[in-house]
Structure formats: C-alpha cells, structure tokens
Amino acid sequence: MSISDFKLRINEIAREVNKYLENVETVRVISHYDTDGICAASIICKMLLRKNKKFHISLIKQLEKEKIAELEKETYSFFIFTDLGAGQIENLINLSKSSKILILDHHQLKDSINNENIIHINPHLFNIDGSEISGAGVSYLFTKEIDEKNSDLVHLAIIGAIGDRQEKDGKFFGINEMLLSEAVNSNIMEVKKGLRIFGRVSRPIHIVLQYSTDPFIPGVSGNESGAVRFLSDIGIKIKDESGRWRRMCDLSEEEERKLVTAVIMRRLDTSEKPEDVLGNVYTIKGASDILSDAHEFSSLLNACGRMNSASIGVMLCIGSNGNLIENVREIMQQYKIKILNALNWVLENLNNKERIITTDKCFYIIGKGDIDDNIIGTVCSIILESGTITTKRIIVGFANRENKVKVSIRSKDEYVNIGKICGQIAKKLNFEGGGHKHAGGARINLNSEKEFINEFEKYLNEDLQK
C-alpha cells in the first residue's frame, strides 16, 4: 500500500462523513492535550465552524477507560477522536453501539476491529510510519477532502508535526515533507536556516537563552547572568542604541552566525549532536508577533496544554486571538520555570539510587510527586536530546497522576519499538499503554515503577535480540 492509497481512502471516508454531518446537530470532539492534539482538534473545529456545525470539544491527557465510560453517558450521535484512539478501539465498542465514531490518529495500532460504526483513518493501516505524519496532518488531509478551502490550515499540520518532534536531522520526511511543500507553494509558510530556539521574535536575546531548555546550553540555560556573560563574550550587545532590548530577529546575519557557532561550541562536550541547534526556521506568513514562528507557536501550544490551558491553544489556532497573547506569554514563562525546576531536581538526585536508576540502555527517573505529570515527557525529551545529564539512548520518566503513575518514554534507539513494548507490558500487567516507535507511555498503579522497569528491561532485551 502507498501514500496514494492512503489519500484515496481518506477521500472515500470524507465523502461518507460529509453526508453524515448533514443530519448531525452537534459533533463531539476529543483530542490529546499536547501541541499535535491541539492542532488536530483545531483543524476539525475550524472545518465544523465553516460548515456552521456546533461542536463540544475536550482536550485530555489520555483516553483512559474511565474517560470512555463518561463519554458513554453523553447523548451525542457523532464523536471525532483526533491524535488518540488507535490504541483504545476495543474500549470504544460500547460507545459505538449508540454513536458513530471517527478516529483520526497516527499512533501504532493495538487492535483492528471490523465495526461499521467505527471509522479509522491511520497511516499505519497503509504501512506508513506514524512519524512521517502527525495527528494534525491526518486531520488536515481529512478536512481538506471535506472542502478544498480548508487547505489554508496546512500550517497547523506542520506545527503539530514540530510539536511531535517529527523533524529528523532538521527536516521532515514522507507526508510531512509533502505538506510543508504545499504550505510553501501556497505562500502560507516560508523556510530558512537559523538557530532553532524559542523566543526568536518575542523576547530579549539573553532571556531567550536563559530559558532555553531545548536546546539546553550548559552554563546558560537557567542562568540569566550566565546568558548575559555568554553574549558579552562573543560580542553581541543585548540592547540597541536607543536602549531597547534586542531580540533574535534583530541580529544581523553575521551576529546570528556568531551566536550559532558559540552555542554549538558550548554544547560540544555535553551533546551527541551539538549542531542540532541549527535547522529550518518556519515562518507563518501574515501571522503577527510570537505566532509567526512555527517552532514558537508549537512551544506555546505545548505550554498551554501542559499548564491546563489547552482551550487557549485552540483559540490561537482557529484565529480567535483577541487579547490572548499576553496570557500565553505568562503561561510560557511559568511552563519554562517548571521545566527548569524539574531538570534541576534530576541533577540534584543523580546519586539517589531510589529515584534515579540506570541500566545498560536506560535512564529511569522516578519523579513521584516531585515532577508534574504534565511535563515528565518533555523533561525526558530534553534529557535525551541535550545529553547533559546522561548518554543513555532511552529515557523513562515516572510521575504521580492522581491515584496512578504516568510513564513517559523517549528513545533514540533504532532497534527498539517503544510503543510496541508499552502495549505488550500493558496487556500483560493490565495497564494502559502504547505510542510510537521512539516515544510511548503508560498509566500504571501507584508505587509499581520498579515492576514496570523489570518488565521493560525484559521486553527491551527481547526486542534487541530479534
């Protein structure tokens, strides 16, 4: 099967759904609360607004059995799940008895069920890896087939892919590459090389560097005086002649080259790929201020989701910005502080063998209640990418979530399928889990972290021996 087969199937489903929507008063939309989930849901909501359809949207941490049980009590006839659902199809059977269900997802499949009331669009069904298209990308392809005028939403598919870290070596592949070309050719986005760091157009340079966690810059991230000194040492002024703070976008080409070189040199001893700070900068044409840079937009949406303000993220995506920008700046500031505090906690506990466990392949963080479950995945990603704390290629984080423990896993190991292992462990121990090849997670019982670690190590060794 191929991309053309995938698109053909989407076209067939879009025609079917379009007819079905004619008799639906209100559509129930459920999506994940991260950047990709927010973008995916926003694309669907914008399409529904253009069709003058009412909708009720929820952005959730995980599609757990308890949440599905709540949805079963609702009276909506049509549910759309975006950026989730592929791993919970068997749990949706009861809901499908009274409602039509559309799943727009890119996660690995756990079950394949033949049910006329469950419509599933997923690249994995066509042997296309879920890392080549985001959940937002799937939603976009579907929505564009509903009406061609929705093609102006293609930038949200790119932002979703950025949020899901689907760039490899600074660029996109597969369907993502096709969508980016579409966005550029449609004059919706432009691409150029530059330093990939949050705050390019919105914050003073030294503050951008101080709060930079991805990339992590030793001696600079989390250290304002260190950031000021760093810029001074390489001859970059932090104020212009009128005394105003300079931003990244105010730098000359020579200054930006100098900054890129200095950041790479500072990361040489701590990062596997220190040059990863340099890559494509994606500009959204016509957008203003902080929303014009796709990486910044992605970071903002992630912060909104992780800081319990996902609805603000949706409003930003569909264009109802109003006076939200200042609110979002504050959300982002608090989010960055929370991440830096979590990273510092990990550093302070490196010798605590009850909370930090290392094996041949893995670095385990048992965060308990000391790391917010909303950011444990982000912390794992930063540790994996920065290389400042460990050189392990698989990072596993645990954080308490109410009466359960959230597990987040990030990997650079090409021989390990994280989502598959999480699904196998979940099935064996009656947990919930799944994900992608390089990222996955689970929800386990309180104080069962070491049980999960033991099982994960067993499956990890089996996977490597295949």
Same domain, 23 and 142: yes
Residue 83 domain-assigned (yes or no): yes
Residue 397 domain-assigned (yes or no): yes
- 332 contacts 341 by C-beta, under 8 angstroms: no
Same domain, 330 and 415: no
What average pLDDT does this structure show over 45-62? 96
Number of domain units in the chain: 3
Q: What is the CATH number of the domain that holds 107?
A: 3.90.1640.30
- Closest of 330, 38, 304 to residue 202, by C-alpha: 330
- Identify which has the larger pLDDT, 203 or 110: 203
At 380 the pLDDT is: 95
What average pLDDT does this structure show over 81-86? 96
Same domain, 332 and 395: no
At 452 the pLDDT is: 96
What average pLDDT does this structure show over 293-308? 93
Residues in contact with 81: Cβ distance below 8 Å, sequence separation at least 6, in sequence order:
30, 31, 63, 101, 102, 103, 104, 105
Same domain, 304 and 371: no
What average pLDDT does this structure show over 304-324? 88
- 200 contacts 247 by C-beta, under 8 angstroms: yes
169 pLDDT more than 70 = yes
Distance CA 51, CA 314 (A): 18
Structure tokens at 334: 């608090």
Q: What is the CATH number of the domain that holds 460?
A: 3.10.310.30
Identify the band that residue 271 occupies on the pLDDT scale cut at 50, 70 and 90. Answer: low
Residue 165 domain-assigned (yes or no): no
At 322 the pLDDT is: 63
Same domain, 136 and 262: no
- Identify which has the larger pLDDT, 111 or 409: 409
Lowest mean pLDDT among 52-61, 121-130, 303-312, 456-465: 456-465
At 465 the pLDDT is: 52
Number of C-beta neighbours around residue 335 at 10 A: 25
Total residue length of the chain: 466
- Closest of 162, 156, 152, 128 to residue 39, by C-alpha: 156
Same domain, 7 and 145: yes
Same domain, 423 and 303: no
Residue 187 domain-assigned (yes or no): no
For residue range 11-24, list pLDDT tens digits in order. 999 999 999 999 99
Dihedral sign from CA coordinates of 261, 262, 264, 265: positive
Same domain, 334 and 358: no
Residues in contact with 395: Cβ distance below 8 Å, sequence separation at least 6, in sequence order:
362, 363, 365, 380, 381, 383, 384, 409, 410, 411
Residues in contact with 376: Cβ distance below 8 Å, sequence separation at least 6, in sequence order:
342, 365, 367, 397, 398, 399, 406, 408
Residue 178 domain-assigned (yes or no): no
Identify the band that residue 249 occupies on the pLDDT scale cut at 50, 70 and 90. Answer: confident
Identify the band that residue 111 occupies on the pLDDT scale cut at 50, 70 and 90. Answer: low
388 pLDDT more than 80 = no
Residue 158 domain-assigned (yes or no): no
At 451 the pLDDT is: 95
Same domain, 329 and 455: no
Same domain, 201 and 310: yes
At 20 the pLDDT is: 94
Residue 167 domain-assigned (yes or no): no
Tell me the residue range of the domain where 44 lies.
Answer: 3-152
- 108 contacts 86 by C-beta, under 8 angstroms: yes
Same domain, 316 and 355: no
At 272 the pLDDT is: 65
Identify the band that residue 51 occupies on the pLDDT scale cut at 50, 70 and 90. Answer: very high
Q: End of a domain among 340, 365, 380? A: 340
Mean predicted lDDT score pLDDT of the chain: 91
Same domain, 205 and 94: no
Identify the band that residue 400 occupies on the pLDDT scale cut at 50, 70 and 90. Answer: very high
466 pLDDT more than 60 = no
- Identify which has the larger pLDDT, 305 or 429: 305
- Closest of 115, 307, 288, 54 to residue 44, by C-alpha: 54
Residue 177 domain-assigned (yes or no): no
What is 403-414 written as a DSSP string?
TEEEEEEEE--T
Q: End of a domain among 152, 179, 207? A: 152
What average pLDDT does this structure show over 49-76? 95
What average pLDDT does this structure show over 180-204? 89
276 pLDDT more than 80 = no
CA–CA distances in Å: residue 136 to residues 67, 148, 466: 22, 16, 33
For residue range 221-235, list pLDDT tens digits in order. 889 999 999 999 999
Q: End of a domain among 88, 121, 152? A: 152
